[in-house]
């Protein structure tokens, strides 16, 4: 088979100096010095820059992105964000969600994201309009990104009749993950129980919003770990936020970290949202509310860093850059050593892919050629300096590119 592409003069983790990446059939066929390929093979010159695995977004809400101009955002609390989005959602149409979700998805692609799990909410108010709009993007953007939907009840499950039937219908129509938001339910544990039951019926993974508070008396993480063990679901459960972990004393944190590692429950931290919404009751010494997931990794659990919300009352910011999330996390978690910055990159690439059940998302022979040429020399510099993605490839085909900045001297 002729090669689809050779990416020359690339810096790759685990290789010395510049190497060439040869792609055949959408897969990395070889990584070698001065690879010889057919003259007709397309060549892209990485020009001695770092080639990262495609970035992996484990947690974003495409359906409610880009609505800051339609909502109040005065208090900056979680309650206000849920309330305002619930109001705005009534006016969502399939076309409206499709347009906003496409815009957000395209920004993510340009930032180097090649795989994404998006949460989509269903309830009797929105019905399946949000789901149908986002579901259409699977095929429309398959050339650039692998997209999967985690369907979840943002406004509660056991307290919101009709919601479970909609979640089940969404799973029948192609949602691949079931989610939860127990903290908005009148009976959080009953919601968790139902979500495990649905997951088992459909044989799909679970990705819950959990413990999105600084009140450590309201933690559900231990309950979720127990349910994960009971259902033999280790490796297929993730939780997002887990802000309470940021409020635990070290010894207690270590106990929970060991429990997460043993149960096989991964944690996604959402630094931008957590920083924006947590600690609103404080007028000084405001806590950060961001779970120290690098310490979970040291304890043997898996973790990822993700975007969560873009331009809505949960997070009125966003450029869909996962490298910015890695940098933001490193900054607030006070991580500056090379191995620590490398871990932050892993949490938006290989560890994020692992959370989604994709075993090997490295730049290595046999892996999908999902690649990003970053304007830097290695992954440590990528996180420290917020390196710009210059070329993005999905299965070896270039999907986005930009020109490096140039000075125009007099
Ligand atoms: Zn979320």
Q: Mean pLDDT score of the chain, rounded to an integer?
A: 97
Please compute the mean of the pLDDT values over residues 156-169 and round it to a whole number.
97
CA 224 – ligand 1 centroid, Å: 17
- Banded pLDDT at 5 (limits 50, 70, 90): very high
The residue whose two tokens read 């887990």 is 242
208: tokens are: 């819950």
CA 334 – ligand 1 centroid, Å: 24
CA 177 – ligand 1 centroid, Å: 13
**C-alpha closest to that of 308 among 146, 100, 116:** 116
Contact 240, 308 (CB under 8 A): yes
Contact 370, 361 (CB under 8 A): yes
DSSP of 137-197: HHHHTTTT-EEEEEEE-TT-STTSTTHHHHHHHHHHTT--EEEE-GGGSSSHHHHHHHHHH
Residue 55 has phi, psi (to 5 degrees) of: -75, 145
CA 60 – ligand 1 centroid, Å: 6
**C-alpha closest to that of 207 among 286, 288, 270:** 270
In angstroms, what CA-CA distances link 333 with 134, 325, 409? 33, 12, 39
**C-alpha closest to that of 271 among 286, 287, 285, 290:** 290
What's residue 360's pLDDT? 79
The burial class, CB within 10 Å (0-12 / 13-18 / 19+), for 397 is middle
CA 181 – ligand 1 centroid, Å: 9
What's residue 46's pLDDT? 98
What's residue 73's pLDDT? 82
How many C-beta atoms surround the C-beta of residue 388 within 10 A?
Answer: 18
Whether the pLDDT of residue 190 is over 90: the answer is yes
Q: Measured between alpha carbons, how far is 380 from 307 in angstroms, rounded to an integer?
A: 20
Please compute the mean of the pLDDT values over residues 373-388 and round it to a whole number.
98
What's residue 378's pLDDT? 98
> Could you read off the pLDDT of 265-322 as tens digits, one per residue?
999 999 999 999 999 999 999 999 999 999 999 999 999 999 999 999 999 999 999 9
CA 308 – ligand 1 centroid, Å: 5
CA 320 – ligand 1 centroid, Å: 14
CA 329 – ligand 1 centroid, Å: 17
Which residues partner with 149 through β-bridges? 118
Residue 365 has phi, psi (to 5 degrees) of: -55, 135
CA 66 – ligand 1 centroid, Å: 15
Dihedral angle, C-alpha 198, 202, 207, 208, nearest 10 °? -10
What's residue 94's pLDDT? 98
Percent of the chain clearing pLDDT 90 (strictly above): 95
What's residue 37's pLDDT? 87
In angstroms, what CA-CA distances link 192 with 30, 207, 224, 248? 45, 11, 7, 23
The residue whose two tokens read 């040869």 is 22
**C-alpha closest to that of 207 among 35, 45, 59, 49:** 59
CA 401 – ligand 1 centroid, Å: 29
Please compute the mean of the pLDDT values over residues 243-266 and round it to a whole number.
98
CA 240 – ligand 1 centroid, Å: 7
CA 395 – ligand 1 centroid, Å: 28
What's residue 176's pLDDT? 98
Whether the pLDDT of residue 72 is over 90: the answer is no
CA 289 – ligand 1 centroid, Å: 15
CA 59 – ligand 1 centroid, Å: 6
């Amino acid at each position: 088979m002729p090669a689809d592409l050779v990416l020359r003069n690339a810096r790759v983790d685990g290789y010395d100096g510049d190497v060439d990446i040869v792609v055949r059939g959408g897969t990395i066929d070889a990584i070698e010095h001065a690879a010889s390929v057919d003259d007709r093979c397309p060549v892209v010159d990485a020009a001695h820059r770092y080639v990262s695995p495609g970035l992996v977004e484990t947690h974003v809400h495409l359906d409610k992105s880009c609505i800051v101009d339609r909502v109040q955002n005065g208090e900056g609390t979680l309650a206000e964000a849920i309330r305002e989005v619930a109001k705005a959602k009534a006016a969502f149409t399939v076309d409206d969600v499709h347009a906003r979700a496409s815009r957000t998805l395209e920004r993510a692609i340009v930032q180097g994201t090649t795989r994404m799990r998006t949460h989509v909410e269903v309830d009797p108010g929105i019905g399946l309009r949000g789901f149908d709009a986002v579901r259409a993007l699977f095929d429309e953007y398959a050339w650039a990104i692998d997209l999967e939907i985690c369907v979840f009840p943002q406004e509660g499950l056991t307290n919101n009749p009709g919601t479970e039937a909609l979640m089940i219908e969404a799973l029948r129509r192609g949602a691949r993950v079931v989610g939860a938001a127990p903290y908005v339910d009148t009976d959080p544990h009953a919601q968790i129980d139902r979500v495990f039951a649905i997951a088992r019926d459909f044989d799909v993974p679970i990705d819950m919003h959990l413990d999105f508070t600084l009140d450590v008396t309201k933690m559900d993480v231990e309950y979720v770990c127990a349910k994960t063990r009971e259902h033999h679901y280790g490796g297929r459960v993730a939780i997002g936020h887990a802000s309470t972990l940021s409020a635990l004393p070290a010894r207690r944190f270590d106990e929970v970290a060991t429990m997460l590692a043993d149960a096989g429950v991964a944690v996604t931290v959402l630094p931008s949202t957590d920083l924006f919404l947590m600690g609103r009751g404080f007028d000084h010494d405001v806590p950060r509310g961001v779970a120290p997931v690098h310490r979970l990794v040291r304890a043997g659990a898996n973790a990822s860093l993700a975007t969560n919300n873009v331009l809505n009352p949960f997070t009125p910011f966003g450029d869909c850059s996962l490298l910015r999330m890695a940098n933001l996390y490193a900054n607030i978690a006070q991580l500056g050593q090379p191995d620590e910055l490398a871990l932050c990159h892993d949490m938006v690439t290989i560890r994020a892919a692992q959370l989604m059940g994709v075993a090997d998302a490295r730049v290595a022979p046999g892996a999908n050629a999902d690649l990003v040429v970053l304007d830097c020399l290695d992954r440590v510099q990528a996180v420290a300096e917020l390196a710009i993605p210059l070329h993005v490839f999905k299965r070896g085909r270039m999907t986005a590119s930009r020109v490096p900045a140039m000075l125009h001297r007099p």
